[in-house]
Structure 1
Amino acid sequence: MTAETLSIPGLAKPASRIALGTWAIGGAMWGGADDANAARTIDKALDLGINVIDTAPVYGFGHSEEVVGRAVEGKRDKVILATKVGLNWQGGKIFRDSRPARIEQEIEDSLRRLRTEYIDLYQVHWPDVETPLEETARALENLVKAGKVRALGVSNFSPAQMDEFSKFAPLATIQPPYNLFEREIEQDVLPAAVRNKLVVLAYGPLCRGLLSGRMTADRKFEGDDLRNHDPKFQQPRFDQYLKAVEDLKGIAEKHGKSMLALAVRWVLDRGPTIALWGARKPEQISGVEEAFGWTLDEADMKAIDTILTRDIQNPVGPEFMAPPARNRVQGQ
């Protein structure tokens, strides 16, 4: 497979326009870890031409980074490693923390877990409004100067926060939630990214499996699976979203593609985007090649919008995933 690529400012090698997302590989909030399948999934992604692997310390409280580090050992020169910074946890409770001291600790922990001397793309996971962005940005710029990081990104930032960060350190990427069902960034973040020549790493392009085309109304989610708390997976909304998926399959079939390929292609056709394809088993990454080498035309885009408007009443975004500020957990 020949993967589509684009350039990320600050990185020497082109990035594949599909990245492997490893949140589920960490296990937490996804029903537990399966390291053997995770390793095979990473190997398959690399074989398919995916060279961007996106992870974070908070995914399984370090476990995802450890699994990724083991899997890419000996293949480091072929991989663009993207991880994050700026979340902390106490007793399993996650909160935002982008203080310079936290950043200094996190970079060393991530380098150790990932078994590498540098990180290609280091992203602030969520904005920490209790820490001045200047302090965060300057601490990260120091890591670039020290050779520990190649390029900087932010995730879940507003355009104003992106602009403020950029006053103190160069910004290469923005990582927001973006998929057929969660399109809030089209109002502000996506235009700002285009204007400032930032690459958009779109997380959740399959909307936590909803857009895979494989989900049914009787699907149950076990244990700590975050979909137990996602409003889209609660009735009556769940049936509405599933109806939309069934109707969207008609557009996919017109192109001879799967629903999954349609969902990812839609993201790739919306701008300077990389779609983060989350997977924890090798079979979950099957079909990546279907997303490349074609496009959705204007008539397709209009038909998609018509289906969404008709099938879904009171659509909801991904707000439920946002972690709290530091003072709400620590009582500061």
Structure 2
Amino acid sequence: MTGNSAHLLNSKDIRSSGLETHDLNGHGLNASRIGLGTWAIGGWMWGGTDEAESIRTIQGAPDKGVNLIDTAPVYGFGRSEEIVGKAVAEAKMRDQVVLATKCALEWDDKGGVQRNASKKRVLKEADDSLKRLRTDVIDLLQVHWPDPVVDVRETAEAMAELKEAGKIRAVGVSNFSPEQMDAFQEVVAIDVAQNPYNLFERDIDHDVLPWAEKHDTRLLAYGALCRGLLSGRMHASREFPGDDLRNNDPKFAQPRFNQYLAAVDALEAFAQKHYDKHVLDLAIRWLLDQYDHAFALWGARTPDQLDAVANVPGWHLNGAARAEIKAIVDQHVTDPVGPEFMAPPSRKD
């Protein structure tokens, strides 16, 4: 296993791409502000996976300026981490990437998932992830979901122990409330908060984002393209195969689906008129301009799905433009719904 570099990660590929980078933990862990999200690469809830295509996607990401790779054990029940680890090891690119993964979910042999943020579970998952990722250090480990059965301070103790042991470089939490993060920080500082955030899912504007600003915490936004809704490639007759999670996402069910598609069309027209860009470019630029310490996760499982990353750097949205964009969304989406459908059950449920 490898992973003993200082991890400043300013390779020529990253510098020459023009894509913005930012310190992920305040201590020199430099990452691209767009990260590769690998949930779909795990196959589970995304209609399967193609390992060869996934490996090409991961290995080609640094050439496009993307050095942050985010995964989790539950993505394909270890499959996503295994593919990421294989891709990075085969290309000998460990010193070119920031590896972020998660912990505190468990699953059974029938595919049932539930939360478990006990200290014992977190410590075991970290060791399992190190093996699957073929590295001796995880750059960013995040608690995937808070566990109502376990005091967050117990979970934080496990994360502090892992950091002290040199197994992780930065500590993150995902889907936590400000109150839960306050309690967590009684034990160990939070470097990164990961939450759903995009033009259609803006709930954290009222709680998590102000908390992050107050504490100078990095925000790692997942669902930046809202499960593809903001890609500009969706249409009303689109069907999703197998266990694709969008079959259970209320946004993709009528009549809401048409509302979101109408908003996408209006946003596309706005982006074209004012910036000569597309709605996908606009969605990512909007997210990064909302907060100086924001990072956006971009889900991809084929190399070409990262091509549009090149359209993000070099321009910005001012406050007036962001206000107009919000008004466009609110005008068309009259029955909005959040990402609550993705929350896994707790053991007490």
User: Residues of 2 paired with 1:10 and 1:147: CA distance?
Assistant: 17
Question: Equivalences for 1:224-235 in 2 at 5 Å?
Answer: 224-235=243-254
RMSD of aligned alpha carbons: 0.9
Contact 1:11–1:120 (8 Å) recurs in 2:
no
CA-CA distance at 1:68 after TM superposition:
0.3
Instruction: Show the counterpart of 1:265.
Output: 285
Instruction: Show the counterpart of 2:37.
Output: 21
User: Residues of 2 paired with 1:143 and 1:282: CA distance?
Assistant: 33
Does residue 1:39 correspond to 2:55, yes or no? yes
Contact 2:21–2:33 (8 Å) recurs in 1:
yes
Instruction: Show the counterpart of 1:83.
Output: 101
What SS does structure 1 have at the residue aligned with 2:139? Answer: strand
Instruction: Show the counterpart of 1:203.
Output: 222
What SS does structure 1 have at the residue aligned with 2:196? Answer: coil
Summarize the Cα distance change of 1:240–1:270 in structure 2 as closer, same or farther, 3 Å threshold.
same
User: Which of 230-239 and 99-108 deviates more?
Assistant: 99-108
Instruction: Show the counterpart of 2:7.
Output: none
User: Residues of 1 paired with 2:316 and 2:96: CA distance?
Assistant: 28
CA-CA distance at 1:13 after TM superposition:
3.3
CA-CA distance at 1:78 after TM superposition:
1.1
Stretches of structure 2 that go unaligned for 5 or more consecutive residues are 1-16
Instruction: Show the counterpart of 2:71.
Output: 55
Which of 93, 98, 109 is the equivalent residue of 2:112? Answer: 93
Instruction: Show the counterpart of 1:139.
Output: 158
Instruction: Show the counterpart of 1:119.
Output: 138
User: Residues of 1 paired with 2:201 and 2:327: CA distance?
Assistant: 15
Contact 1:11–1:150 (8 Å) recurs in 2:
no
Which of 122, 126, 129 is the equivalent residue of 1:103? Answer: 122
CA-CA distance at 1:303 after TM superposition:
1.8
User: Residues of 2 paired with 1:306 and 1:263: CA distance?
Assistant: 14
User: Residues of 1 paired with 2:289 and 2:128: CA distance?
Assistant: 36
User: Which of 6-15 and 65-74 deviates more?
Assistant: 6-15
Q: TM-score by structure 1 length?
A: 0.97
Cα offsets for 1:194-218 (capped at 9, x unmatched): 1001000000010000000111111
Question: Equivalences for 1:174-193 in 2 at 5 Å?
Answer: 174-193=193-212
What SS does structure 2 have at the residue aligned with 1:60? Answer: coil
User: Residues of 2 paired with 1:98 and 1:67: CA distance?
Assistant: 25
Runs in 1 of length 4+ with deviation above 3 angstroms?
Answer: none
% identity of equivalent residues:
55
- Which amino acid is 1:248 matched to? L
User: Which of 185-194 and 251-260 deviates more?
Assistant: 251-260
CA-CA distance at 1:46 after TM superposition:
1.3
What SS does structure 2 have at the residue aligned with 1:327? Answer: coil
Does residue 1:299 correspond to 2:320, yes or no? yes
User: Which of 229-238 and 252-261 deviates more?
Assistant: 252-261
CA-CA distance at 1:11 after TM superposition:
4.6
- How many equivalent residue pairs? 328
Contact 1:28–1:60 (8 Å) recurs in 2:
yes
Instruction: Show the counterpart of 2:275.
Output: 255
Does residue 1:236 correspond to 2:252, yes or no? no
What SS does structure 2 have at the residue aligned with 1:269? Answer: helix
Instruction: Show the counterpart of 1:72.
Output: 88
What SS does structure 2 have at the residue aligned with 1:68? Answer: helix
What SS does structure 2 have at the residue aligned with 1:179? Answer: coil
What SS does structure 1 have at the residue aligned with 2:183? Answer: helix
Which of 329, 332, 337 is the equivalent residue of 1:308? Answer: 329
Question: Equivalences for 1:160-179 in 2 at 5 Å?
Answer: 160-179=179-198
CA-CA distance at 1:302 after TM superposition:
2.1
